[in-house]
Structure 1
Amino acid sequence: MAIAASLVELQAEASCPICLGYLKDPVTTHCGHNFCRSCIHQCWEDLQDIFPCPVCLHHCPEENLRSNTQFHHMTDVVQQLPDRRKRKRQEEEEPLCGKHCLHLALFCEKDLELLCPQCRVSSDHQHHPLLPIEQAAARNRRKLKSYIQPLKEKIEDAKVRCEVTMLKSFNVKRKMETWRKELRTEFEEIKIFLVKEQAAICASLLAEEHNAEENLAENQRQISDHLFLLEKPAKCSNREVFSGRPGCADRC
């Protein structure tokens, strides 16, 4: 266990704190920490005056980066040692068969299931077409690509149709707004015209009413004069009768 722990510690020392991978072209900062040359330059890419260490935040002059040949050789040696962390991570990531606790290495094309070697000889999958996982994965990736391309084309076509529809909708809205403005203008013109017509009609009616009143007054005056002429001989005759003199009609 002590050897395994020391190995893990050695592998951590040979790793870059930025990319977490093994050091490539290692350089040492002024504060003594080691990084990949490309990682530290990328980390300081947008900086100008102050270059903080990504580990301790100590201000480091960029030109003081030193190539660490010793760490370079040590990293080469560490990379040749068995990586217990990687192997353990792979073991944890690889799925196991629920029945036989063996690694799943086969794919049943009929039942679409992952199988272990022990499942292969079972009666459930004995005559089913089986493929290694890698081969089945490659085949299914090709199938997915063949499905994805038509879907991409349909998506692009749908986007184009959507853009065309949105453009048509925008044009229709713009035309409707133009029509609304024209209708408002026409309504205002019609309203002004009707107001003028109403004023003209009212003035004409007032003039006709005035003329009618004048004609009525003239007719009343003429009727009164005519009645007066008619009543005048009658009055004269009555006076002649009562006085014994010849009537006005005889004199006339």
Structure 2
Amino acid sequence: MAAKVIFESLTEEAVCPICLDFFTDPVALECGHNFCRSCITHSWDKEGRNSCPECREEFTHRTLRVNRALVRLSEKARTLSRNGTEKGSKHHCEKHQEELKLFCETDKKLICVISAAGREHKSHSFMPVDEAVEIYKGQVKSTFKSLTSKKSDIQEMEQEQKENISEVQKDSHNLQSQVTSQFAELHQILAEKEQRILGDIREEEAAIIKTMEKNLEEIQENLNSIQEELSKLQEQIDHKDGVIFLKEEAGHKSRVIDETKTMLVVDGTLPIDKFDHTFFHNTALRETSDIINQGKPNTFSIVLFKTLLCSNM
């Protein structure tokens, strides 16, 4: 306890009144008070006058004398303070205030020598703290090594999984590109087939309409002839001179109605079955598949068109 009082008294004498820390480059003023050189010069510069911060005595000149005795005292006080701090940092038993030097393996806790001799730890297994630290650090290092190895294995698995995901994404991208390309070709082929089918329909239409229009012309010609004859007959009916009427009528060898040939309406039905949607669709797919297979199809092309054919049958 006395040593503590002496230590506190010593440290108070080695502390600068301005910074409240151990002196650094201590100097003495003319009044005898001591300060750190940097502290006192900064104080004078700040206040704009040369005065002592403790006694307030003012000086004409800045006279600073090095206090060598206080330099040595400050260094010793700083050393003692540092050692006291390091000593105080050691762990002590809360009950006996003794340093914890033993490790109780039974209770898995640090104890002091007095506690080890007590009834609480009777028959327990002890070892020095340094030895316990070495043993348990070895266990921790072993666990660390094992976990590091496991981490490495998992990192390899992570990398492999990332590569697998990347491979699937790459395959998907390639497959989508192939689908887009193949369907673009398919659209082109089907568009050409569409134009051919539409052309065939127009040819069928033109052929049927040509026959029907020819028959219509004949019907209209016959109708015109009949109309002309009707007009003549109407004139004869309206003729007022009976003698003349008889002469003209007797001159006709036959009537138009006797000369008119039999007329029929030509059937103009398009062959709808020939252009049936389902028939055309399956035929177009088969022809498309045949056209592609005439080249150098890849496996994907074959599978694609077989799938299309099967789904539409």
TM-score, scaled relative to structure 2:
0.45
CA distance in 1, matches of 2:78, 2:218: 141
Distance of aligned partners of 1:247 and 1:207 in 2 relative to their CA distance in 1, 3 Å threshold: closer
Secondary structure at the residue paired with 2:98? coil
Single out whichever of 149-158 and 217-226 deviates more from structure 2. Answer: 217-226
Report the equivalent of 1:153.
149
C-alpha contact 2:22 2:78 (8 A) present in aligned 1:
no
CA distance in 1, matches of 2:254, 2:145: 133
Report the equivalent of 2:111.
115
Structure 1 position 96 matched with structure 2 position 66: no
CA distance in 2, matches of 1:194, 1:178: 24
Instruction: Decide which of 155, 162, 165 is 1:169's aligned counterpart.
Output: 165
Larger radius of gyration: 2
C-alpha contact 2:102 2:127 (8 A) present in aligned 1:
yes
Secondary structure at the residue paired with 1:131? strand
Report the equivalent of 2:131.
135
Secondary structure at the residue paired with 1:124? helix
CA distance in 1, matches of 2:88, 2:170: 62
User: Which residues of 2 match residues 103-252 of structure 1 at below 5 A?
Assistant: 103-219=99-215
- Number of residue pairs matched? 171
CA distance in 2, matches of 1:122, 1:214: 128
Secondary structure at the residue paired with 2:92? coil
CA distance in 2, matches of 1:122, 1:222: 139
C-alpha contact 2:102 2:111 (8 A) present in aligned 1:
yes
Distance of aligned partners of 1:82 and 1:213 in 2 relative to their CA distance in 1, 3 Å threshold: closer
Secondary structure at the residue paired with 1:114? strand
Secondary structure at the residue paired with 2:103? strand
Distance of aligned partners of 1:224 and 1:121 in 2 relative to their CA distance in 1, 3 Å threshold: same
CA distance in 2, matches of 1:149, 1:219: 103
Which string of whole-angstrom CA distances, capped at 9 and with x for unpartnered residues, describes residues 94-130 of structure 1?
2222222222111111221111122212322211111
CA distance in 1, matches of 2:208, 2:118: 121
Secondary structure at the residue paired with 2:121? coil
CA distance in 2, matches of 1:123, 1:82: 43
Secondary structure at the residue paired with 1:97? coil
Secondary structure at the residue paired with 1:102? coil
TM-score, scaled relative to structure 1:
0.55
C-alpha contact 2:99 2:112 (8 A) present in aligned 1:
yes
Report the equivalent of 1:70.
none
What amino acid sits opposite 1:109 in the alignment? E
CA distance in 2, matches of 1:247, 1:152: 124
Unaligned runs of 5+ in 2: 1-6, 16-20, 26-74, 224-248, 259-313
Structure 1 position 87 matched with structure 2 position 95: no
What amino acid sits opposite 2:180 in the alignment? R
CA distance in 1, matches of 2:81, 2:176: 73
Which string of whole-angstrom CA distances, capped at 9 and with x for unpartnered residues, describes residues 133-155 of structure 1?
11100111111122221211111
Q: In the TM superposition, what is the alpha-carbon distance from 1:217 to its structure 2 partner? A: 3.2
What amino acid sits opposite 1:149 in the alignment? K
CA distance in 1, matches of 2:214, 2:156: 86
Counting aligned pairs with the same residue, the percent is 18
CA distance in 1, matches of 2:203, 2:152: 76
Report the equivalent of 1:67.
none
